[in-house]
Structure 1
Amino acid sequence: MSQPLDTYEQAIEFLFGRINYERTQPDAYSTADFKLDRMRHLLEAAGNPHQQLPAVHVAGTKGKGSTCAMLASLLRAAGKRTGLYISPHLVRFEERMTVDGVSPSPTELVALVNRLLGPIAEMDRSPVRMHPTYFEIATVLAWRYFLDRQADVAVLETGLGGRLDSTNLCHPWVTVITNVSRDHTHILGSTVREIAFEKAGIMKPGVPCVSGCLHVDARQVMLDVAAERGVPLWQLERDVHWRWQDRERRMIAVDTPARSWSELPVTLRGEHQAANTALVVAAADCLSTRDVPLSPETVRAGLQAVHWPARIEVVGESPTVILDAAHNWESTRALLQTLSTDFRARRKLLIFACSRDKDHRGLLRQLTPHFDSLIFTRFQDNPRSVSPDELGSFVETISEIRAHRAADPYSAWKLARRLAHADDLIVITGSLFLVAELRELVLETCRPGIDSPPVPTPETPSHAVP
């Protein structure tokens, strides 16, 4: 039996000492490293918590986190105690798992980890590579926490892909697949069709699925997999339609095969969030047979309560400062579209860092023409960051805009503040890891001018979603 952990710091050190593909160089692992056998074994040792709690399961390339936040808020508004599992976290590990907005306290987290130490040690001793990974352990901890807190349902965001993701052993009421584009190509495949197949892996026989895929290849994959597995499938722009009713007030109408909705608030910024809202409302219709009382008033209240940090989040004024975790083509396109329609500035400054497994050259080709000044840096808490020199050197081959280099995010922020005037716009993007390292600092600097709620503490119930 492993020695019990006494402190929160010991629990975090234990977790971060596991194999962690969020922090591993992409060439150090492949699809063969993602196997559900380890997860099944660990869940069985933990009492199979996933079999005791229904789920709403969400996959996709762009918007899955926002969609999870909206779904959790709707279920809470309907009176369901709702677990929410997301990844990665912004500041604290325990932000990944909440029940009605409350994360585990340090004491609870230590107790949760201690309950798994024995099974993990036993699996580590197995001669057939059964070492549970960081994400697998985190997922089991979340399910155990949800049961401890007597959750009625869990909203689960996939970590990577879907077919082989640790969350894919859940028992869903409904599955949701948001828009699909190229990302994690070294694992999921180099084409939209291949990536869509991995995302479609969360479909379960007889369980309704709502898909927001717009690419023709991705849509066909959804149809093929749904037909093969006997899945009732609603597709955006075929079965689910939305339209603006009032752009200024950000109200939309949504039509699904079940009913028509009107005056629905789109709380999160960006046109793409209107489409995500439509998917959420369609999923709500699919839940109508599951004793989830989602009246129009309940849905409106749930949507209005949503807050999702680091997604086109305005955290400062004079100059305007925006944090956004865009790290792939589709999310960057959505960011640029929102900047062009919702924000006016004399000059636009970009603070950018990126993980090596992302298409940083493609992202910079998208971003560079829309900014007047560029500051490249690297995040400190993850070894996968591309160096500022490499980013700057590439941009100098495609643009005449001066590329500043900063050794760390703090230095990049200080430089941006020095360069920016009150009527300028500072955008911090490229990676959630960059945004996570800068968010608290930026909020502290800008707090007098903006009221942006912090990520909730474990002891503070809140509609804010970490």
Structure 2
Amino acid sequence: MINSYEEAIHWISSRLRFGIKPGLDRMNWVMNKLGNPERNLKVVHVGGTNGKGSTVTYIRSILNEAGKQVGTFTSPYIEEFNERISVNGKPIADDEIVHLVTVIKPLAEELEMTNLGSLTEFEIITCMAIYYFGEVNPVDFTIFEVGLGGRLDSTNILSPILTVITNIGWDHMNILGNTISEIATEKAGIMKEGIPLITAAAQEDALKVFYEKARQLNVTIFEKNKDFIVSKESVLPEGEQFSFTHGALQYNDLAISMLGVHQIENASLAVMAAVCLSVSEEHIRNGLKKGFWPGRMEVLHKNPLVLVDGAHNPEGVRAMRKAVQLHYASYKKKIVFAALRDKDLTDMFKELKQLDGNYYFTEFDYERASSAEQLLEKSGFQNATAAEDYKSLLKELLKDLKEEEMLVISGSLYFISEVKHYMKKILF
């Protein structure tokens, strides 16, 4: 019996022991028991390697400006667990989490008695989100972010009205495959019969997979740099600006508040999605400007300058590095980095090294986290320090941070989540 929010979160977290178990049979079983609430949803399904969360928030913000109620399902969380299931950008309440767990927990226990086995943590939360938006609090649109891959991800029981695949990169290769084609095949698994796909994937091997799948499923593809064009990119004091063209349609000087040229790509996907959903130019402009996603090139403090970014794979570190170099070229940099040991650290270090600063490798309390010493050894950096206690490290760095210096905290999103909680205590 679940009586409190703390008990609900503890039960959900206890499912982490079941790890990652790709497949849809368990999800279909639960949905059937719940009366198939997924059929009540109007879904935009967002997959890809990087930029999923930002793309989700841009689409949500645009639809909100159009007066629509929008539910989102994202992962992982940055500030609080509840944000994984949000309405109009606001995390659902603690008592709603408790209610959802009381509904899903008996089904999870019943399922465990079958040959299908146990629901994972991610499957539990996916079930909670679908039931919440399908039965408890219906909304005009829902936007679901894929957890891992696509084809066998628990969100793939959904039947979307629009599919977005942001890009294809090297991540989770132990599960998704060792080539771009293999990874793209897993990501393309969210494509559905007759449902349009919007993508910024650039590799020829990935696009070949998408177009072959599209031919089989009668899918129209809107490809960046082919079917919609981004041009006139420029840097604003606190954001970016670009123009968007799709056929005869042209929107000039669209502004976003999130930092980094890579955010232009995410925003352009959202604009194309909005066009497909018949949203007006005014709502697109206003929605883009208001779009914000925590932990992505986020300035926590301006004086001293402290920036956090969840750069958790090579493409993410490259995007972070370019954005910092572009917006903060004059600053001397102190870079704190923590990562999971199952990531492609070699290529991440190649990108990180180009930032040209003083490096501090650290660690945090997470079972897959690499130790500070392991990061230091693998990096081969000469101007680097390993510090086990990130809290003491950050406190010391902040104390000595000069006006011409900035503190960049990057790496795993799980690390950024912990850091944000701590930094709030010592900065504000």
TM-score range, shorter chain: over 0.9
Q: Hey, what does 1:295 align to over in structure 2?
A: 280
CA distance in 2, matches of 1:297, 1:337: 30
The whole-number CA distance in structure 1 between the counterparts of 2:234 and 2:359 is: 35
Q: CA deviation at 1:320?
A: 1.4
Partner of 2:346: 361
Segment of structure 1 superposing worse, 174-183 or 255-264: 255-264
**Cα pair 1:388 1:405 within 8 Å, conserved:** yes
TM-score (norm 1): 0.88
Corresponding residue for 1:390?
A: 374
**Contact 1:53–1:153, Cα closer than 8 Å, also in 2:** yes
| Maintained 8 Å contact 1:84/1:96 | yes
Comparing both structures, which one devotes a greater share of its residues to strand?
A: 2
Q: Supply the AA of the counterpart residue of 2:345.
A: H
Q: Which runs of 4+ in 1 moved over 4 A?
A: none
Residue 222 of structure 1 is aligned with which of 193, 210, 213? 210
Are residues 1:322 and 2:285 paired? no
In the alignment, which residue of structure 1 is the partner of 2:191? 203
Name the counterpart of 1:313.
298
Q: Show the counterpart of 2:83.
A: 95
**For residues 298 and 419 of structure 1, do their structure 2 counterparts lie closer, same or farther at Cα, with a shift above 3 Å needed?**
same
Measured after TM superposition, the shift of residue 443 of structure 1 is 3.3
Higher relative contact order (CA 8 A, sep 6+): 1
8 A Cα contact 1:253 1:264, kept in partner: yes
For the pair 1:193 / 2:174, whether they are aligned, the reply is no
Please tell me whether the aligned partners of residues 42 and 132 of structure 1 are also in contact (alpha carbons under 8 angstroms): no
Following the alignment from structure 2 to structure 1, what is the Cα–Cα distance between the partners of residues 83 and 125? 11
Aligned AA for 1:389?
A: E
Are 1:73 and 2:61 counterparts? yes
| Residue among 247, 252, 277 paired with 1:262 | 252
Q: 5+ unaligned residues in a row in structure 2: which ranges?
A: none
User: Cα RMSD (Å) of the superposition?
Assistant: 1.7
Residue 110 of structure 1, CA deviation:
0.8
Q: State the distance in 1 between where 2:179 and 2:119 align.
A: 30
Normalised to the residue count of structure 2, the TM-score between the two structures is 0.95
**Does the aligned pair in 2 maintain the 1:261–1:296 contact within 8 Å?**
yes
AA partner of residue 204 (structure 1):
K
Structure 1: runs of 5 or more not aligned:
289-293, 448-466
Secondary structure of 2:117's partner? Answer: coil
Answer yes or no: is the 8 Å Cα contact 2:256–2:290 preserved in 1.
no
Equivalent residue number for residue 174 of structure 1 = 162
User: Are positions 1:424 and 2:405 aligned together?
Assistant: yes
Alignment-derived partner of residue 16 in structure 1? 13
Query: What amino acid does structure 1 have at the position aligned with 2:373?
Result: D
Q: Which residue is 1:112 aligned to?
A: 100
Tell me how far apart the structure 1 counterparts of residues 110 and 247 of structure 2 sit (CA, whole Å). Answer: 50
Q: Is the 8 A contact 1:181 1:192 kept in 2?
A: yes
Count of equivalent residues: 425
Alpha carbons 1:76, 1:82 under 8 Å: kept: yes
Name the SS of the counterpart of 1:193 in structure 2.
helix
Q: Report the equivalent of 1:460.
A: none
Deviation at 1:20, TM superposition (A): 5.4
The structural deviation recorded for 1:65 is 0.6
* Cα distance between partner residues in 2 of 1:79 and 1:349: 43
Q: Is 1:439 aligned to 2:423, yes or no?
A: no
Secondary structure of the 1:221 match is helix
One-letter identity of the residue aligned with 1:8:
Y
Match of 1:252 in 2: 242
